[in-house]
Amino acid sequence: MRLALAVVLLVGCGPPPPRATTPRPPVADPDEAATMDAINTVDLAALHRKATRILHELVDGLPPWYRDQVAHVSIDFATEGVNAYASCAGFAQPRVTVTDDLLHVLARLAAARAAEEVFDVDATAAYVDWMAAHQRADGALVDPPQDREDPRRRLDRHKLTRQHELFDEGLAWVLGHELAHHYLHHLTCEGDGGIVADVRAATQEIVPAFHQPDELAADAAGIANTLRAGQHRPGYTWQHRGALLLLSFFARQQALGVPDLVFAFARTHPPAQLRIPLLQGAVMTWYVTNGVVVPAIPYPRIPLAAMTDGDARADVHDPAPRDGDPPRRAR
């Protein structure tokens, strides 16, 4: 009897099911204002403002013991590579950075998945496969011709609303992941700061070092932060599907052999194939425990002094940080 009750409780506490949609034709007369939609046009200035707002919502949604540590976090936008990372702007000045190319990819993914849900078309796979066929390691980020899409579908009001929901929750997880590197003490801003002067320093290394347990802990903390902050938002409540959309993209790119010199995010983080089931487990745990957040025990850190270029000693644990050690870069 107790076992049966436990099973019922667990089944009833899982994440909400995907939104039920009925494929429908595009509107005959779309709103003219939709032609300037920030996601359709990849308006970077507008997406920067959106990212800044999302970061503030994430900080506000943290438990007090974490929020106090990142209350003064800043956000920076870089121009090269599909990536995001945590760094320091100075002493006690945490910073998260996201690149314009990552915003671009996430915008295209959100638009494709929204079209899929609204019109029952295979838009996401089409975008991923097109990228795999056209992206080059030594070239800028490529973008499919937008005249391939029915303009009425592109400007459909329901599709526009859904793509903003997916973009926001996907970016919330990315920013929440990088924010977690700070409050979980994977990175300490106690030195002179400026450990990553610009994104080129992060994307042009041969084999950037990352600490895999830290990355997976940041994944779980980032999605918990996204779900918690999403509960307090007016209107749409953030879920985990934007995060899975982005990770599935990287998993598919890796499977198809897309050059990782461009997709630095996939190169500086654990494989997406590993992260997806662990993220799904973290989501289930969050729902089953009703969003209970327990302060995490930080993993030991590796001082940069212990690493050299091309040395990915992610499995080496420094037993204790030493005085004078520079802060470690966290991806």
DSSP assigned state of 76: E
Pick from 87, 108, 115, 103: nearest CA to 21: 115
pTM of the model: 0.77
Confidence of residue 52 (pLDDT cuts 50, 70, 90): very high
Band (pLDDT 50/70/90 cuts) for residue 314 is very low
**26 has a pLDDT exceeding 70:** no
Supply angle C-alpha 188, 190, 195, rounded to 5. 70
Distances (CA, A) of 198 to 97, 145, 184: 9, 30, 23
Burial grade of 77 (CB within 10 A; 0-12, 13-18, 19 or more): middle
Alpha-carbon distances, residue 282 vs 110, 222, 291 (angstroms): 22, 10, 10
Mean pLDDT to the nearest integer, 37-66: 96
Q: How many Å apart are CA 216 and CA 202, to the nearest integer?
A: 19
Nearest 10 degrees: Cα torsion 49, 55, 61, 65: -150
- Per-residue pLDDT tens for 249-280? 888 887 777 666 566 666 667 778 888 999 99
Residue 117: pLDDT above 60?
Answer: yes
Q: What angle do CA 160, 162, 167 make, to 5 degrees?
A: 95
The secondary structure of 14-49 as a DSSP string is SPPPPPP----PPPSS--GGGGG-TTTTT-HHHHHH
Own/partner contacts of 299-308, CB < 8 Å, gap of 24 or more, are 299/184, 299/186, 299/211, 299/213, 299/214, 299/217, 301/185, 301/186, 301/188, 301/211, 301/328, 302/209, 302/211, 302/328, 303/328, 304/195, 304/328, 304/329, 307/209
